[in-house]
Structures are given as C-alpha cells and as structure tokens.
C-alpha cells in the first residue's frame, strides 16, 4: 500500500485520500489516471479518484482511457465500459500486447547519452506513433553530461531532417523548453529505463513525486523504476503521462502498408514504383530504393524498414 493511500490494497502510486461521498452502483464517466497491472485509478467529476478493477473481459485498459465506472462504495469501483479511443500507443510481440497510453496526441520520446540509448527503440516508437497519428517529439535529456551528449545529438540530427522536433535539455536544470510543445496536448513520456522520464515529469509537476533512481553504471541500463503509467494534469487543456521504461518495442500489430506509411520520408515516392505491390526491399524499378541510392532517403532508415518488413513477414501465424 502506498504511504497515504487509504483505499488501495495495491501499489497504486496515487497518494490521495479520497472523500467518502460515493453512491453505490451509480454509473459515471471517468478518466483512467493510473494503470498498474489490472488495477486502475479513475478520476471522476470533481477530481474524485476511484480505485477500480475492470468488470468482465474488457481487453487491455490504458492510462488515458475514458471509461464508465460503477461505484461500489469505499472509494472503489468497477470499470464497466471503455469508450472508443482516438489513439492507442501500444507494442506487441509474439507473446503479448502491452498498452502504453490511450487518447494521446503526442509522445515525448526521451533519450540520453547515459545509459546508452538504442536508436532502434526510438525508431520503432516513432513508427508506432505515425501509425496512430500521434505526434512524435524527441527530448535529448541530460545535456549537462556535455562530453557524452555530442554523439547522441549527432545521431538525432537525422530525425530533425525527417521533421521531428528534437529538444535538448537537462531535466535536472531546466524543463521550460518543454512547456510550449506540451501545451494543448495529452502527451505520454516514453523511452528506455533510466533516460530521465520521471525526472522530467517531476520537474513539470512539482506535486508528482514520481520515483526516480540512479541507473546501473555496471549494466549501462536503467532500473525499471516506474512500474505503471500515471497521468498528471498540467493545465485545463494539457496533461502528461509518465510510463515505465521499455527495452524492446515489438510492432507485430502493423500491416505492411501501415509500416510503409509510417516512414514519412517514403511518402512522396508512393505510387511511383514499377510494381503496384512493390515491397521496397529488392524489387526492380522501386523508387524508394532509387531514392536511397540517390541519398534522398537515409540508408539507416531503409535498413531498419527492411528489418521490420522481415519481422512482419516472418510473424508466426498464431502470434495474435
């Protein structure tokens, strides 16, 4: 039980004491502000928080979901319905689907030089965002580590040429460069463990008090400190969701056409290949391959695209 939470028998990370004015069984609309395993905290009218489980087989529920809850007294309730979503950021591999956040308009992908950041994860995350029409924003955190940061900044230059905004900052010093880009959005902060996601959220929301932890220098990896997603309101039109760090980002959910259209630099060549069913990997007369040869498309990105195509084509038939 978290320190001040009187309603939750689980690690909800929402340290509120909820007023006792519930009416049993009464359905009401709410917003999932915390998702931790199968336990959710739902904010209902007036900012009241209910600790909830999902009734029946609801499928995955994510932080940011709009739901209907039925109160069951004692600041608890059951999620009876999940409203249709405008977006869902999620990842999936052979074994499972992991929802990250729902109804978001922007994903803030946090990278840093230490622990070492994996470009593949960034690329996959941006592909998932493109497919869901979620704006991708890259934060290069820990710029106070000056010597280490230069190499990472050079790696990110490519993403700027693709149209993604890259914001360099040090969450330990100043997060004001993020204020304007966050305004008007429901954003989710995502990335590898140890990149400083929760540190950024704490700097933006002084009351958040999200747990943070030193990464392991020995393993050059974060310690997976954040274990559930949690939404914080920034102002009446903006909110931010902190999420657990990830090591992999499976994209099994994508069709091949989803994948192709999630590479923004490919789009101007659509419809120009010799074959209508061109896979843009080895085919003769492929305009995307020609653009790679002319260096109009970065070879790193095309190689990543081919790896992902191969992954989708070798998906086991029973993956879902």
End-to-end CA distance of the chain: 35
**Cβ atoms 138, 153 nearer than 8 A:** no
**Cβ atoms 228, 37 nearer than 8 A:** yes
Question: What sign results for the dihedral spanned by CA atoms 190, 196, 199, 200?
Answer: negative
Question: 174 or 296, CB closer to ligand GTP?
Answer: 174
DSSP 8-state assignment for residue 130: H
Answer with the entry of ligand GTP, Zn ion, Mg ion, none that 42 interacts with (C-beta below 5 to 8 A by kind): none
Give the span between the Cα atoms of 320 and 315, in whole angstroms. 10
CB under 8 Å to 202, separation ≥6 — which residues? 208, 209, 210, 212
Give the span between the Cα atoms of 117 and 290, in whole angstroms. 30
Which span sits near Zn ion by CB under 5 A: 131-139, 220-228, 286-294, 296-304?
Answer: 286-294
By CB under 5 A, residue 91 contacts Zn ion: no
Answer with the entry of Mg ion, ligand GTP, Zn ion, none that 273 interacts with (C-beta below 5 to 8 A by kind): Zn ion
What residues line the site for ligand GTP (CB under 6 A)? 141-142, 144-145, 170-172, 193-199, 212-215, 222-226, 244-245
Shortest CB 122 distance to Zn ion, Å: 25
Q: Read off φ and ψ for residue 256, nearest 5 degrees.
A: -65, -35
Shortest CB 104 distance to ligand GTP, Å: 17
Shortest CB 202 distance to Mg ion, Å: 9
3-state secondary structure of 88: strand
By CB under 5 A, residue 288 contacts Zn ion: yes
Question: 241 or 278, CB closer to Zn ion?
Answer: 278
**Cβ atoms 215, 222 nearer than 8 A:** yes
What residues line the site for Mg ion (CB under 5 A)? 197-198, 225-226
**Number of residue whose CB is nearest ligand GTP:** 245
Question: 110 or 273, CB closer to Zn ion?
Answer: 273
Give the span between the Cα atoms of 263 and 304, in whole angstroms. 10
Asked if residue 115 has a cis previous peptide bond (ω within 30° of 0), the answer is yes
Shortest CB 156 distance to ligand GTP, Å: 16
Shortest CB 232 distance to ligand GTP, Å: 14
Return the structure tokens found at 290. 């020609």
Answer with the entry of Zn ion, ligand GTP, Mg ion, none that 286 interacts with (C-beta below 5 to 8 A by kind): Zn ion
Q: Which of 123, 286, 297, 308 binds Zn ion (CB under 5 A)?
A: 286
Annotate each residue in 251-280 with x if it binds Zn ion (CB under 5 A) or - if it does not, as one string.
----------------------x----x-x
Q: Which helix (H) or strand (E) holds 232?
A: strand 229-235
Q: Which helix (H) or strand (E) holds 141?
A: strand 135-141
Answer with the entry of Zn ion, Mg ion, ligand GTP, none that 278 interacts with (C-beta below 5 to 8 A by kind): Zn ion
By CB under 5 A, residue 204 contacts Zn ion: no
Shortest CB 125 distance to ligand GTP, Å: 13
């Amino acid at each position: 039980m978290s320190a001040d939470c009187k309603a939750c028998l689980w690690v909800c990370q929402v340290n509120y004491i909820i007023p006792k004015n519930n009416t049993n069984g009464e359905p009401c609309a709410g917003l999932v502000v915390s998702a931790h395993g199968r336990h959710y905290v739902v904010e209902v009218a007036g900012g009241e928080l209910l600790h909830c489980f999902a009734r029946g087989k609801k499928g995955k529920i994510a932080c940011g979901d709009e739901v209907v809850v039925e109160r069951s007294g004692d600041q608890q309730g059951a999620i009876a319905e999940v409203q249709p979503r405008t977006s869902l950021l999620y990842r999936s591999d052979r074994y499972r689907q992991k929802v990250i956040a729902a109804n978001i308009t922007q994903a803030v992908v946090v990278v840093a030089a230490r622990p070492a950041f994996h470009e593949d994860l960034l690329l996959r995350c941006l592909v998932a965002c493109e497919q869901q029409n979620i704006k991708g924003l890259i934060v290069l955190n820990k710029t106070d580590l000056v010597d280490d940061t230069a190499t990472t900044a050079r790696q990110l230059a490519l993403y700027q040429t693709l149209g993604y905004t890259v914001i360099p900052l040090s969450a330990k010093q100043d997060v004001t460069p993020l204020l304007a880009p966050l305004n008007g959005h429901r954003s989710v902060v995502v990335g590898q463990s140890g990149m400083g996601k929760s540190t950024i959220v704490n700097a933006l929301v002084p009351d958040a008090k999200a747990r943070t932890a030193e990464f392991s220098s020995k393993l050059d990896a974060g310690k997976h400190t954040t274990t559930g997603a949690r939404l914080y309101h920034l102002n009446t039109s903006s909110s931010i969701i902190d999420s657990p760090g990830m090591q992999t980002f499976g994209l099994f959910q994508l069709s091949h056409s989803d994948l192709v259209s999630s590479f923004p630099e490919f789009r101007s060549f659509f419809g120009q290949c010799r074959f209508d069913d061109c896979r843009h990997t080895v085919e003769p007369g492929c305009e995307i391959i020609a653009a790679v040869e002319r260096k109009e498309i970065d070879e790193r990105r095309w190689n990543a695209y081919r790896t992902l195509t191969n992954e989708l084509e070798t998906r086991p038939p029973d993956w879902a």
